[in-house]
Homo-oligomer: A and B are copies of this chain.
Amino acid sequence: MDGRIVREVGEFGLIGLLQGALPDHLRSSGSVPLGIGDDAAAWKPSPGTTSVITTDTLVEGNHFRLDWSDWRSVGFKMLAVNVSDIAGMGATPVLATISLTLTGDELVDDLVEMYRGMADVASPHGIVIAGGDIVRTEGPVVLGVTVIGEGRRLLQRDGARPGDRIVVSGTLGASAAGLALLSDHALRQKATTADLLVAAQLRPNPRVALGKVLAAHGATAAMDLSDGLLGDLPKILAASDVAARVDVRAVPVSPAVRALFPERWLDMALRGGEDYELLATVPAGALPAIIEAARDVGATLTDIGEILPLTSDRPALVMIDTDGSEQAVDVGAFDHFV
């Protein structure tokens, strides 16, 4: 325990303390020889690979709430959601840079905990935390994460073809259920499954191994689910110029979510968001082999529908509802400003 605030240790003192929170193998490695401390960090791309980059910004109060989370979980999630984007490309994460916009009143111990949370995600993948930037603000804390990865065959959003099956990994809705539990103390106390659901919200596990399996076994498109199935699937449909029919009765939802939220579980699964599972399209013939290969890396894939040609006489996304009726889905993703 340090006990001091950022203003007391200064920018360079803080950099040293945060570096110290990372085990050696997350500060540099064979492929990332130059980490924190020069004009730039450097890494050696593997021959024959394509590099990928993704970036995300989190604003205190909007993207994370310290009354609902803890600093270690904030660090975990900020890195995990970016690694999830790399997984959605079928690529391997290699390094990350971190940008901290701080008031100076933060406890150094809290920021060290945040770095430990990042290390929790980085360690199993050997992701080097290669540097970043620390600046001062008068406003809310802003956290920026950029992750670099590399892959051979990338899974873009524009490759879905009519006849492909639509698959999702794991179960959907657990993260939204966890969020609901964070704001409902009474229900949380009552539910024996609460901790698991809250963990799905605070510490999502990026599906890196599964992304590589999908890329290796011929998936035609993939992305990670951050805005909910009905927010994200339309992005694949638009990029690929195709339509889709999804059977909501097939969408995998955990019994815990169904039991705790009998009125809302389906909405949580379809629109809740932040599940960070993978959504992919797969040629029908490749489906059995890909489900098998996913199982080998500990992931389940569920067939929830099919890709159709885009025609003018049918909506782009049709849903088979719980009563078996077909209905058009009003698509649209979360907008930060409207």
Contacts and interface: CB of A to CB of B under 8 A. Distances in A.
Interface stretch (A91-99, A259-267, A316-324): A91-99
A86 B39 contact: yes
Contacts of A104: 337
Interface in A55-72: 55-59, 61-63
Interface centre among A47, A88, A134, A139 (most CB of B within 10 A): A139
A142 interface: yes
A45 B137 CA distance: 35
Given A62-B136, A101-B59, A138-B61, A38 B157 contact: yes
B133 A57 contact: yes
A88 B133 CA distance: 17
A319 B6 CA distance: 33
- Kindly report how many copies of this chain are found in the complex they form together: 2
A150 to B, nearest CB: 8
Nearest to A96: B53
Which of A41, A42, A43, A130 gathers the greatest number of chain B CB atoms within 10 Å? A42
A38 to B, nearest CB: 5
A17 interface: no
Contacts of A133: 55-57
Interface string A130-154: 1111111111101010101100001
Q: Which 4 A-B pairs have the closest CB atoms?
A: A139-B139, A10-B338, A45-B45, A40-B54
Interface of A: 6-7, 9-12, 14, 34, 37-45, 47, 49-59, 61-63, 85-86, 88-89, 91, 95, 97, 99, 101-102, 104, 130-140, 142, 144, 146, 148-149, 154, 156-158, 223-224, 239, 333, 335-338
25 contacts: A39-B85, A39-B88, A39-B157, A39-B224, A40-B91, A42-B50, A42-B51, A42-B52, A44-B50, A53-B97, A53-B130, A55-B131, A57-B142, A59-B135, A62-B136, A62-B137, A97-B146, A99-B99, A134-B336, A136-B336, A137-B140, A137-B142, A139-B139, A139-B140, A148-B148
